[in-house]
Structure 1
Amino acid sequence: MRKNGVDMDLQLAGRRAFISGSTRGIGYAIAAELADEGADVVVNGRDEAGVRAALAGLGERGSGPGHRGIVGDLGDAADAARVLAELDAMGEVDILVNNVGVFELSEFAEVDDARWLRTFEVNVMSGVRLARHLLPGMLDRGWGRIVGVGSESGVNVPVDMVPYGVTKAAMIALGNGLAKHTRGTGVTVNTVLGGPCDSDGVRASVAAVAAAHGVSESAMRASIIGQNRTSLLGRFIEPAEIARLVAYLASPLASATNGAAVRADGGVLTAML
């Protein structure tokens, strides 16, 4: 498809993609990227207004019959079952992007069981429920893609985001384990390790921390990146930069990449592998 005047066909025309948590931020950027590549996109969010806004933003992107949306909280088992029933009614899903996630800055000792369990339900069990339902059909048809939107925090767990880091580590393990079910098929399962990203959630967190310290948001952003000496970008990553890697892994062109944790971390992780 067209990319800023350059032809780059990821061969996604006619594929149906479901992206969890895709009404804004990285999820929406992924939905837009896949739509631009010709996929029929199904967006998801927890409120109807957000889903409607996302669909309006996608507009006439792509060449398929149209994009759709499903409202639902995938961190709730009953609501997730309803979402999957609605998704089944739309037809086969070729591409699953497990993007939905929650995080917060917190002291480890202050995080109670309820917050731990909610983080695990959203960040891990949402992907488990979706993959458990959709992977068998992909295997039967002989083609499919599952891409988890993970984080470098799953490899290098932040001291002030332990629940988030632990659940992102679990997400990497989930992708690796699911990939072993795809041996000899046209189905792949991979995880993208994003780095510090200029998403809606991160911007809100930066604003809150800046206000608490009595400094400007721009000064706080510069301080956060400056403290991270291994960020080779020297800036926050744009959601679209992560979305492009997800789109590639969701395409037939990435057929030899399976069971991998692929980085879009801006050079934050220091290990060679």
Structure 2
Amino acid sequence: MKIDFTGRHILVTGSTSGIGFAAAKGFLEAGGHVVINGRSQGSVDAALQRLGPLAENATGFAGDLSEEGACQQLLAQHPDFDVVINNMGIFNPQDFFEIPDSEWQRFFDTNVMSGVRISRAYAPGMVERGWGRIVFISSESAINIPSDMIHYGFSKTAQLAISRGLAKRLAGTGVTVNSVLPGPTLSEGVAEMLKPEVESSGKSLEQVAADFVVAHRGSSIIRRASHVDEIANMIIYVSSEQASSTTGAALRVDGGVVDSIF
């Protein structure tokens, strides 16, 4: 199987690091032109520099896409995309009784409404051209709602509902809509969260991450955290020509955390 994105224009939101950066890099390696997005110009410039020669086919867009104004600016600069990866997101462990309304709203705007606005803006062009891919990066937490991140789990479940509904809305158009559900993944954000334990224990980051998975996601079958490239592989595939009959799906890349055969 040869996956080729030559001639395709691709948006990966929140792609200056983590899963988003790995996906963007994969699309570039497969011949696509990718817009790298981050909240600040500095983070976008640093990501482009990290890409090295691949950056020749990449363009940066600095803007917080949880805000409607930034989405409008993106649309003005880039009126069409063939592939949209709704990846930007935030997470933060916090007890339910300590989460204020403002934090619920921040999670909803960032994790949910960014993807709603972006998909609403670019899906019509995909339909007109008869081909397109929209992918929401959800989480196994959409199914296994974490008791210490209920607001995060809620936002990820909302993505599944939107993805499935939009896939049905675009039935027969040649545009597919899917969700990808990573499990615990060694992104920069997770590494930062685990940093105190790494420093105090003297263990490697990979071992601390594996210990975390065993302790907090005991149903994991791989018994470790995934690497960002492992998640990116699924994103690249479901965005490809070869995934033409996969739509409305919630595709787990969770290392077996969700204890279900469906």
Q: TM-score, normalised by structure 2?
A: 0.94
Alignment match of 1:229 (pick from 202, 218, 222): 218
Question: How many Å separate the matches in 2 of 1:222 and 1:192?
Answer: 22
Check if 1:163 corresponds to 2:151: yes
Kept in 1: contact 2:198–2:208 (CA 8 A): no
Alignment match of 1:132 (pick from 117, 120, 124): 120
Kept in 1: contact 2:88–2:110 (CA 8 A): yes
Tell me how far 1:204 sits from its aligned partner.
1.0
Deviates more, 1:118-127 or 1:220-229: 220-229
Structure 1 unaligned blocks of 5 or more: 1-7
Q: Deviations over 1:18-62 (max 9, x none)?
A: 000000000000000010111101010001111011112223239
Check if 1:20 corresponds to 2:8: no
Find the counterpart in structure 2 of residue 249 from structure 1. 238
Alignment match of 2:32 (pick from 39, 42, 45): 39
Question: How many Å separate the matches in 2 of 1:221 and 1:54?
Answer: 24
Kept in 2: contact 1:207–1:217 (CA 8 A): no
Alignment match of 1:87 (pick from 75, 78, 82): 78
Question: How many Å separate the matches in 2 of 1:35 and 1:222?
Answer: 30
Question: How many Å separate the matches in 1 of 2:9 and 2:116?
Answer: 19
Question: How many Å separate the matches in 1 of 2:109 and 2:66?
Answer: 5
Tell me how far 1:220 sits from its aligned partner.
4.1
Alignment match of 1:266 (pick from 242, 255, 260): 255
Kept in 2: contact 1:206–1:217 (CA 8 A): no
Deviates more, 1:144-153 or 1:177-186: 177-186
The letter for the 1-side match of 2:94 is S
Tell me how far 1:124 sits from its aligned partner.
0.2
Tell me how far 1:253 sits from its aligned partner.
0.2
Tell me the matched-pair count: 259
The change in CA–CA distance for 1:109 and 1:32 in structure 2 (over 3 A counts) is same
Check if 1:76 corresponds to 2:67: yes
Give me the CA root mean square deviation.
1.7
Partner SS, residue 84 of structure 2 = strand
Structure 2 unaligned blocks of 5 or more: none
The letter for the 2-side match of 1:76 is E
The letter for the 2-side match of 1:20 is T
The letter for the 2-side match of 1:48 is Q
Check if 1:49 corresponds to 2:37: no
**Percent same amino acid among aligned pairs?**
42
Q: Deviations over 1:48-81 (max 9, x none)?
A: 111011112223239xx62101000011122222
Kept in 1: contact 2:135–2:239 (CA 8 A): yes
Question: How many Å separate the matches in 2 of 1:29 and 1:220?
Answer: 22
